[in-house]
Amino acid sequence: MKYFLSAAAVCLTAAVSLPAQAGQTFDAVKARGTVTCGVHTGLGGFGAPDAKGEWAGLDVDVCRAVAAAVFGDAKKVRYVPLSAQQRLTALQSGEIDLLSRNTTWTMSRDTASGLLFTAVNFYDGQGFLVNKKLGVKGAKDLNGATVCVQTGTTTELNLADFARANKIELKPVTIENFEEAANAFVSGRCDAMTSDGSQLAAIRANQTPNPDDYVILPERISKEPLATAVRQGDDQWFNIVKWTFQAMIEAEERGVTSANVDDMTKSSDPNVQRLLGVTAGMGKGLGVDDKWAYNIIKQVGNYGESFERNVGHGSKLKLDRGLNALWTRGGMMYAIPVR
Q: Which residues bind another protein (CB under 8 A)?
A: 14-16, 18, 20, 24, 28, 41-45, 48-49, 51-55, 78-83, 85-86, 89-90, 92-95, 177, 179-180, 182-183, 186, 202, 205-207, 209, 316-317
Q: CA-to-CA distance for 109 and 200, rounded, in angstroms?
A: 26
CB of 93 to another protein, least distance (A): 3
Q: Which is nearer to another protein, 86 or 174 (CB)?
A: 86
CB of 85 to another protein, least distance (A): 7
| Three-state secondary-structure class, residue 127 | strand
Q: Which is nearer to another protein, 17 or 108 (CB)?
A: 17
Count each helix (H run) and each strand (E run) in the chain, helices first: 13, 12
Q: Which is nearer to another protein, 84 or 160 (CB)?
A: 84
Q: Whole-angstrom distance between the N-terminal and C-terminal Cα of the chain?
A: 60
CB of 35 to another protein, least distance (A): 14
Q: CA-to-CA distance for 107 and 275, rounded, in angstroms?
A: 31
Q: CA-to-CA distance for 143 and 258, rounded, in angstroms?
A: 48
Q: Which is nearer to another protein, 85 or 268 (CB)?
A: 85
Q: Which is nearer to another protein, 30 or 316 (CB)?
A: 316
CB of 83 to another protein, least distance (A): 5
> How many other CB atoms are there within 10 angstroms of residue 83's CB atom?
10
- Comparing CA positions, the residue from 52, 56, 105 lying closest to residue 230 is 105
Residues 6+ apart with CB under 8 A from 253: 326, 328, 335
Q: Which is nearer to another protein, 63 or 256 (CB)?
A: 63
Pairing verdict, β 146-150 and 171-175: parallel
CB of 133 to another protein, least distance (A): 19
Residues 6+ apart with CB under 8 A from 114: 92, 231, 232
Q: Which is nearer to another protein, 211 or 331 (CB)?
A: 211
CB of 178 to another protein, least distance (A): 8
CB-based contact 246:293 (threshold 8 Å): no
CB-based contact 233:24 (threshold 8 Å): yes
CB of 21 to another protein, least distance (A): 10
